[in-house]
Amino acid sequence: MSISERFITYYRETFFSWDEEWLQKFLSTIITPLKKSFRINISKISIENLLIRLKNQGYIPFETWISNVFSFERTIDFNPFERRLGFSLEHLLWYIYIQELAAAHSVHILSDWKIHNDSFLILDMASSPGWKTTQLSEQYPKSFIIANEPTRERIPQLLQNLDRMGSINIGVTLYPGQYFATSPETFDRILLDAPCSWEWTIFKTTDAVKNWHIKNVKTISRLQEKLLESACISLKTWGEMVYSTCTLNQIENEWVLDSMMRKFPWCFEITFQKRYWPHIDGTGWFFVSKIRKLLSVEGKKLKIQKNINEEIIPLSKHEQSLVFDFFHSSDIQEYVFYKFKHKLLAVRLSESLELVRNNFYCMRFGEEVGNIEEGKIVWTHYAGKTLVSSKVPSMILPDDEGILDLYFRWEKIYLNTNLRWYINLYYDWQRIGLDYINETGILSNFFPPSWRRK
Ligand SMILES: C[S@@+](CC[C@H](N)C(=O)[O-])C[C@H]1O[C@@H](n2cnc3c(N)ncnc32)[C@H](O)[C@@H]1O
């Protein structure tokens, strides 16, 4: 693959004028595929336990400089049920997330590597496919996160990822990021993982190489400036945000930050900044900077919009009693239930829920845990994913990969029990989720059909 001369000249002049050898090293690294890596969701499983499980399936994990992110290879001899990591039980149960190492860093930078119990309102301004949204949800489990994505074609992938990882504290909105400038001083934290010139896809496709032109880079940097300006306005004073891109050029990074500092002098400080070089850091291309807001800045405030999500409404008394037929109150004390048409939504309790419901139109609000049909609730898989009902009995699927495989293929499985109700299903000490045993004793798989193994 030949790399565009324009690209090489820009990088030589901007970063490597002092060292042709390093330039050549950089150029040879960027056309090599990246090592795959995954992130472990430590709120679900310990690192040790997860690594043992994967090693038993023939994966060889390698430590990285992020404690819960591992790169991996596979051994050659697989057992017949072994699948790609993306179809493993561990992946389906939200224990792991396949994510590039440097990209996994930006949420850690925002959260200072900690899990926070604050009830923040967080904006993920450019969120699809949701890698970092799910990470925000792990690092800020008690906060409410707006996952915003204006590109319609990129919504299905976002929703699919949120489904798998759980979206109990997430609302999805479809605004151009510039829109948030009309909500000054609103968010405690913002992640702006900006749309960029996709330089990093060089090793995957020749397009980024062929199309690299400084004019295109400057065009996208003007959009990035507007998005950053919007983030600056909508961030609360003393709030923090991360601006990141998966490009290394200065035009989409330092220039965008410089323009913010010129526009709002004395209002912001940059508290962290790093450029990840593939030939030095062994990662994908990435630039990340962390910004703190020191002073409020001018924005154009829209009229308060009351009840923009008017179809998302609180439950009636009768509907609430149906919820309590299924859950003990202690099971759900941290959640609030709403209704959208016939759908039952569960959302983690948070101080900003009403602010969001009144001001930002959400195409998704929390998790769809049931359907209200003819005065009763039919619970879905999601009712057992994040929420756990202690009224529902547990059953264990026989410890046999073949049976698990049948389960994931939606084949009929008979369970030796007289029970005909919902069950919490376990396999190999792992809770798979909520299922149902029908009147003929067959286990009805409540996993979403799109996750079916083929
Ligand atoms: C680098 S990707 C985000 C990746 C995502 N944060 C993740 O980790 O999975 C940038 C996203 O910005 C979206 N985007 C494009 N124009 C936008 C705009 N005006 N406002 C907000 N987002 C925009 C793109 O559709 C794309 O999904």
What integer pLDDT is reported at residue 209 of this predicted model?
58
**% the chain with pLDDT above 90:** 61
Nearest to 141 by CA among 175, 163, 103, 167: 167
pLDDT value at 413 more than 60:
yes
Residue 427 predicted with pLDDT over 80: yes
Q: Give, as one character, the DSSP assignment of residue 76.
A: S
Q: How far is the CA of 177 from the centre of ligand 1 (A)?
A: 9
Helix (H) or strand (E) run with residue 344 in it: strand 343-348
Ligand 1 binding pocket includes 151 (Cβ within 6 Å): yes
Q: What is the rounded average pLDDT of the residues 71-93? A: 71
187-193 vs 121-124, strand pairing mode? parallel
Confidence of residue 181 (pLDDT cuts 50, 70, 90): very high
Active-site residue, 267 included: no
Ligand 1 pocket member 154 (CB < 6 A): yes
pLDDT greater at residue 201 or residue 166: 166
Distance 128 CA to ligand 1 centre (A): 6
Higher per-residue confidence, 270 vs 55: 270
Give yes or no for residue 104 having a pLDDT over 90.
Answer: no
Q: Is 176 in the pocket of ligand 1 (CB under 6 A)?
A: yes
Q: How confident is the model at residue 210 (pLDDT cuts 50, 70, 90)?
A: low
Percentage, residues of the chain above pLDDT 70: 93
Distance CA 346, CA 376 (A): 16
Q: Which atom of ligand 1 is nearest to the CA of 132?
A: 8
Atom of ligand 1 nearest to the CA of 130: 9
pTM for the model stands at 0.93
What spacing in Å lies between the alpha carbon of 22 and ligand 1's midpoint? 31
Q: How many A from CA of 358 to the centre of ligand 1?
A: 24
Average pLDDT over residues 181-201: 88
386: confidence class by pLDDT, cuts 50, 70, 90: confident
Please name the helix (run of DSSP H) or strand (run of DSSP E) that holds residue 373, with its range, or none.
Answer: strand 367-373
Distance of alpha carbon 173 from the chain centroid: 14
CA distance 285 to 282: 9
Residues 171, 236: Cα–Cα separation, whole Å: 19
Q: Is the CB of 132 under 6 A from ligand 1?
A: yes
**Ligand 1 site, residue 150, Cβ cutoff 6 A:** yes
Distance between Cα 146 and ligand 1 center (Å): 13
Q: Which among 193, 230, 247, 360 is the best mutation to test ligand 1's pocket, defined by most ligand atoms within 8 Å of the CB?
A: 193
179 lines ligand 1 (CB under 6 A): no
Q: Is the pLDDT of residue 303 over 70?
A: no
Structural domains in the chain, sorted by start: 37-98 (3.30.70.1170), 105-293 (3.40.50.150), 312-384 (3.10.450.720), 394-451 (2.30.130)
Atom number of ligand 1 nearest to Cα 245: 1
Q: Any idea how long the chain is?
A: 454
Which helix (H) or strand (E) segment is 224 a member of?
helix 214-234
pLDDT-derived band at 262, boundaries 50, 70, 90? very high
> Among 208-212, 230-234, 263-267, 363-367, whose mean pLDDT is lowest?
208-212
Q: So what's the pLDDT on residue 301?
A: 67
Ligand 1 centroid distance, CA of 319 (Å) = 38
- Tell me if 201 CB under 6 Å of ligand 1: no
Q: 150-154, 300-304, 305-309 — which is least confidently predicted?
A: 300-304
Query: Are the CB atoms for 194 and 252 separated by under 8 Å?
Result: yes
Closest protein CA for atom 27 of ligand 1: 128
Helix (H, G, I), strand (E, B) or coil at 432: strand
Query: What mean pLDDT, rounded, does the chain reach?
Result: 89
Does pLDDT of 204 surpass 70? no
Residue bearing the bigger pLDDT, 164 or 172: 172
From the alpha carbon of 151, which atom of ligand 1 is closest? 25
For residue 33, say if its preceding peptide bond is cis, omega within 30 degrees of 0: no
What is residue 208's predicted lDDT score, i.e. its pLDDT?
57
